[in-house]
A and B are shown apart, each in its own frame.
Chain A
């Protein structure tokens, strides 16, 4: 069965600093990978996705992620963090069968941004 691990439960960075959130997956076939963000009291917003092709994908709000098959990783990065980026970030993998697409989420990483 597929699984997603986000090893960092909580990360604090200073505004303007760079950010990397880690995500490791376990999935036999080529994974479809996603990063979602959840602001306090809000729903889940899609940041970016990887299906195939270029292993470096660009998302919204200046985020990017790199798929590394050899490391089973899909880390999220941002060169300069803004205070509004404080939120919880979820990595997810989707299993794809005939019409069956169930997202498996990691446990999330809560990002705090210091002024």
Chain B
């Protein structure tokens, strides 16, 4: 158990809909990351938040957005869903440099768009 919790574990939704994925980082971790894993694209970094502020952006679509709340949990919002958005979405967290630059992953949220 990595200590990173993601909900829901599985989600099936229709094209055009909007979903929210939730992540609770490990206790004390200030950074939260979102990754997308799909068969054709592999593991892609989407976005990073650090203590509530956006810190880095990767290959995140404009239809997707994220935020990190004062209690450090994070949400990834996916809107106007397309079939190609079907993927496994990982949340990860890490602490400060003094605690090492290790990034721990949750078990992921499986999104199926039909």
Contact = CB atoms under 8 A, between A and B. Distances in A.
Give the secondary structure class of A's interface. Answer: strand
Interface string B20-50: 0000000000010101000000110100101
Given A105-B42, A108-B42, A46 B104 contact: yes
B50 A99 contact: yes
B17 to A, nearest CB: 24
A105 B43 contact: yes
A13 interface: no
Interface string A10-34: 0000000000000000000000101
A104 B45 CA distance: 7
Contacts of A36: 105
A96 interface: yes
Given A44-B105, A51-B101, A108-B42, A101 B2 contact: no
Contact of A102 (B2, B48, B104, B106): B48
Interface residues of B, number: 25
Given A99-B55, A101-B31, A102-B45, A45 B101 contact: no
A99 B97 CA distance: 8
**Interface residue range, chain A:** 20 to 34
A98 to B, nearest CB: 9
B3 to A, nearest CB: 12
Given A100-B56, A105-B42, A108-B42, A46 B90 contact: no
A18 B34 CA distance: 34
Nearest to A36: B105
5 nearest A-B pairs in the assembled complex, by CB-CB distance:
A43-B107, A44-B105, A105-B43, A99-B50, A100-B56
15 contacts: A34-B102, A43-B2, A43-B106, A44-B105, A45-B2, A46-B104, A46-B105, A49-B100, A99-B50, A99-B55, A100-B48, A102-B33, A102-B56, A104-B45, A105-B42
Given A43-B90, A103-B92, 20 more contacts: A32-B101, A34-B102, A42-B107, A43-B105, A43-B106, A43-B108, A45-B2, A45-B105, A46-B2, A46-B102, A46-B105, A49-B102, A51-B100, A51-B101, A99-B31, A100-B48, A102-B33, A102-B58, A103-B103, A104-B45
